[in-house]
Amino acid sequence: MRVAIIGHGRMGREVERILGERGHEVALVIDADNEDDLNASKMAGVDVAVEFTTPETAPGNVIRCLEMGIPIVCGTTGWMALVPEAEELCRRVGGAFFYASNYSIGVNVAFELNRRAAEMMNRFVEYDVTVEETHHTAKKDAPSGTAITLAEDIVARLDRKQRWTLGVPAVGEADHAALEVASVRRGVAPGTHIVTYESPVDTLTLRHDIKSRAGLAAGAAAAAEFLVAEVAAGRRGRFSMSDMLGF
């Protein structure tokens, strides 16, 4: 598998290392100093692109790959409002686009548990629910894409929550129809996500801690392998971790 890596920061470098360990060729690395290399000539012969950049550059990178017919795996968060536009372009050009807010296997199992918990808790109105995420200070978006996924999945299944909001309301201004999402930036913490259901008599917590970026990179590499296999089998469109993991 010949791979183009778009974005050569900490995640991009980790993905490059994992791909090498799995026997794949990194045919091209594109970063801020060679953005013009994202063109049809340089991308010729590339089987798939893996994109980890910034919320500002990700949409354009995804669009260019889809327009060139290059399957793309994107892990950049902070641009989720524009993802539907990329999905529409993918459908229009018959492309292949894999997007996830988090490529950790454990996080995606937690997503499934979170959805199931919300469905089960819908009838128990005495429980309030909150979401909290903690990341390193260099993370540009807040809340994290993972926290947004957790929150949106809860809102879709819990009748008493109509929307999510970032931050905790001031005393006396609580909005019980809003799901509170707290975002903390501290040190070099790779990432912690906590969903808490609390009643007057007990607390139920769903928690995931990322120990290193290696798990995220391994998931992204597996997603690239999955996407190339899907394209080879004649299947295209928008794919997710649920597709890859069979949820």
User: Would you please indicate which residues are annotated as catalytic (active-site) residues?
Assistant: 135, 139
Exposure string (b/e) for 42-67, b if CB count within 10 Å is 16 or more?
A: ebeebbbbbbbbbbebbbebbbbbbe
φ/ψ of residue 4, rounded to 5? -105, 130
* DSSP alpha helix (H) spans, 69-213: 83-93, 105-121, 145-157
Q: Which residues contact residue 128 at a Cβ distance below 8 angstroms, ignoring those fewer than 6 apart?
A: 176, 197, 198, 199
The Cα-based distances of 183 to 30, 84, 113, 146, 207 in angstroms read 31, 25, 21, 11, 15
Structure-token pair, residue 242: 């649920």
Q: Which residues contact residue 204 at a Cβ distance below 8 angstroms, ignoring those fewer than 6 apart?
A: 117, 127, 196, 197, 198
Distance CA 238, CA 247 (A): 15
Structure-token pair, residue 172: 């006396």
The two counts, helices (H) then strands (E), for the chain are 7, 11
The Cα-based distances of 2 to 8, 10, 71 in angstroms read 16, 20, 12
Distance CA 26, CA 232 (A): 19
